Chain A
Amino acid sequence: MKVKNGCAMCESKFSGYNDEHRVLKPLIRKNGNLVKASMKEAVEKAAKILAEANYPILYGWSSTSCEATRVGLELTEEVGGVIDNTAVVCHGPSLLSVQELGIPSCTLGQIRHRADLIIYWGSDPWSAHPRHIERYTAFSDGRFERSMWRGYLNKVKALIGRKKVESALRRLSLKKETEGSSASKSKVCPTISKVGRKLIVIDVRRTKTAEMADYFIQVEPNKDYELLQAFRTLIRDQEIDVDEVAGVPIEYLEEVADAMVRCSFGALFFGLGLTMSKGKLRNIDAALSLMRDLNMCTKFIIMPMRGHFNVTGANTVSTWQSGYPYAVDFSLGYPRYNPGETTVVDILLRKESDAALVVASDPVASFPRKAVEHLVENPLVVIDPHMNATAQMADVVFPSAFVGIEAEGTAYRMDHVPLPLKRVVAAPSGVLQDEEILWRILSKVRKIKKTEKTEEL
């Protein structure tokens, strides 16, 4: 089997989808070990865990279809629990800021065709979204903007040539210059003076994406808020009294602010560098306010670089069903939303939940250790194709089909465009789709609750 046009992660997923890490039969923990069980037995055990729990959490949802998430919401309502998705540890702060300030956005196609200035802030697409730059931004060919790829190749060739010349001159002892390896800044501030698309990267390290950029700003960790506000000041033509902000000399910031104001259509993509460092949602507040300021003089959009392939879908389904994008608490019989109180990480840190269902995610690997302690101390049901870290700690494990490989479904792209995912191969025998497994658990939960009510009467 060969994978064409996929990034490295896609290739890994498609070529390894049926290897030794796959769960093929339902598993139940008995006497400390996970042993094979029938689907009926596993459904009964999982339904009993959720029906009897006082405050269960149903988490994940970001690597499965919208159709499965819809069932998940119904199940959460039935058991009076909390449904949360991976946005809580990803772009949850961005959602909070967007709820306060709004967001100017567009589809990725618009950026490919029109954007002449691309900025990646706290995001390294080369590592996390490998084909983003060549499909939608700097290295894509659009109707009104050309790809920067040739220019980048020429720059790399020129750099290699220059290094060879410098090396030769050093050998001939005509030039005595030490190799630059320290963090010393150039005395002359470089300018962004090129025609065509420009790529600017702002990060705490010179990432691979930064190496491709026309301009790179190295910001000190936890100082993004100051830098964003400095840009807002410059764009409003106000003066800054200090020589540097967040470790960056003002001349560099003036260069970037100038490029932002002079562009015809700018796009700012931001990642977890803003949502996870000091300030969190306040960093996004500043970025969205920067967009508002820039849209006074030009056209600028902003877009969060989402992580899991259907986290946008999980947020969308949750919003249209409950009114809220994540952290929805149904324990009082109606949806309540209060991040900090109803977010799953906080619930675990306060040790309030007493059972969990984890679907299409791996919180044992992604949550801080203190939050995971409470998750694994209580009954845990997992629905996942792989024996991941969470499945290894579970009481019940359901094997499920990969959406987009073995199961159809709808997923939302990071720009909110819904995409129908196809089924390419059949799932292994006995392995069901997430949606089907959830329906079976929900039906069983309803039977259990009906029996309980009848017994009470």
Chain B
Amino acid sequence: MKENAKLKVTLVTGRTIDQGVGKERGKASKEYAESVSVCYLDPDDLRRLGIKENTNVLVSTEHGTIVVKALKSLRAPHPNIIFIPYGPWANAVADPETNSIGMPSFKGIPAEIEPAADKLVLSLKELLKTQFGGRLTSQ
């Protein structure tokens, strides 16, 4: 097993049906968090990383790092392309560069991915607290 395997990939963020259903239920819901704190990888990329699906992985870009759960993509083949659904987890690593037109660069971001089975995926509350400090409601 490749313990320290690291892959250079292109990160694409986008919609999924589960993310859509989860957000209509409410962004504080468990369904939403489970639908967007994931990363879809090509099965060949999972093999190269030496992990099975449902293992946590660390995705790093120039703009941040995030731990998400790796899932096998049913949309393969797309070697070296990873897909994270829209949401706060994807935005932890998305590129804020707007090229002077207001639109950040949410797709086609150069990234690295490595196994992180020992790290936990944060909940929405924990993620907001880590990123933006203690302004959260007690509700």
Binary per-residue interface labels of chain A (375-405) against chain B in the complex, 1 for a CB within 8 Å, 0 otherwise: 0100000000011110011000000000000
The smallest C-beta distance from A178 to any residue of chain B, in angstroms, reads 14
Of the candidate stretches A121-129, A253-261, A439-447, the one touching chain B is A121-129
Binary per-residue interface labels of chain B (48-85) against chain A in the complex, 1 for a CB within 8 Å, 0 otherwise: 00000000000000011000000001011111010100
Indicate if the CB atoms of B137 and A27 lie closer than 8 Å.
yes
Chain B residues touching A, range = 35 or more
On chain A, the residues within 8 Å of B23 by CB distance are 362
On chain A, the residues within 8 Å of B15 by CB distance are 124, 127-128
Chain B's interface: helix, strand, loop or mixed, by majority?
loop
The smallest C-beta distance from A188 to any residue of chain B, in angstroms, reads 19
Binary per-residue interface labels of chain B (88-123) against chain A in the complex, 1 for a CB within 8 Å, 0 otherwise: 100110111011111111111000000000000000
On chain A, the residues within 8 Å of B29 by CB distance are 21
Binary per-residue interface labels of chain A (280-312) against chain B in the complex, 1 for a CB within 8 Å, 0 otherwise: 110000000000000000000000000000000
Binary per-residue interface labels of chain B (18-47) against chain A in the complex, 1 for a CB within 8 Å, 0 otherwise: 001111111111000000000000011000
CB closest residue in chain A, given B78: A205
Which of B25, B75, B88, B96 lies in contact with A345, CB distance below 8 A? B96
Q: How many angstroms between the C-alpha atoms of A126 and B16 in the bound complex?
A: 9
On chain B, the residues within 8 Å of A208 by CB distance are 75
Q: How many angstroms between the C-alpha atoms of A22 and B46 in the bound complex?
A: 39
User: Using a CB–CB distance below 8 Å, which chain B residues touch chain A?
Assistant: 10, 12, 14-17, 20-29, 43-44, 63-64, 73, 75-79, 81, 83, 86-88, 91-92, 94-96, 98-108, 124-125, 128, 131-132, 134-139
On chain A, the residues within 8 Å of B134 by CB distance are 32
Sample of 16 further A-B pairs with CB below 8 A, known A19-B25, A277-B105: A12-B22, A124-B15, A205-B73, A276-B105, A276-B107, A278-B108, A343-B98, A349-B96, A367-B91, A368-B94, A369-B64, A373-B132, A376-B135, A386-B26, A389-B124, A393-B128
Q: How many angstroms between the C-alpha atoms of A32 and B139 in the bound complex?
A: 12
Q: How many angstroms between the C-alpha atoms of A343 and B98 in the bound complex?
A: 10
The smallest C-beta distance from B124 to any residue of chain A, in angstroms, reads 6
Chain B CB within 8 A of A9 CB? yes
CB closest residue in chain B, given A96: B101
24 A-B pairs within 8 Å (CB atoms) are namely: A10-B24, A12-B22, A13-B24, A20-B26, A21-B26, A21-B29, A22-B26, A29-B135, A33-B138, A205-B81, A206-B76, A206-B77, A218-B78, A276-B108, A280-B99, A340-B101, A340-B102, A365-B27, A368-B91, A373-B131, A376-B132, A388-B26, A389-B88, A393-B128
The smallest C-beta distance from A315 to any residue of chain B, in angstroms, reads 14
The smallest C-beta distance from B78 to any residue of chain A, in angstroms, reads 5
Q: A92-B103, A366-B86 are in contact. Are A387 and B28 (CB under 8 A)?
A: yes
Chain A residues touching B, range = 35 or more
CB closest residue in chain A, given B131: A369
Q: How many angstroms between the C-alpha atoms of A372 and B64 in the bound complex?
A: 14
CB closest residue in chain B, given A130: B17
Which of B10, B22, B27 lies in contact with A389, CB distance below 8 A? B27
The smallest C-beta distance from B74 to any residue of chain A, in angstroms, reads 8
On chain A, the residues within 8 Å of B63 by CB distance are 368-370
On chain B, the residues within 8 Å of A11 by CB distance are 21
On chain B, the residues within 8 Å of A275 by CB distance are 103
Indicate if the CB atoms of A204 and B98 lie closer than 8 Å.
no
The smallest C-beta distance from B132 to any residue of chain A, in angstroms, reads 5
- Most A CB contacts (10 A, CB to CB) among B43, B76, B128 go to B128
Which of A92, A128, A130, A392 lies in contact with B136, CB distance below 8 A? A392
On chain A, the residues within 8 Å of B107 by CB distance are 221-222, 272-273, 276-277
Which 6 A-B pairs rank lowest in CB-CB distance, beginning with the nearest?
A343-B102, A21-B26, A340-B100, A34-B137, A368-B96, A13-B24
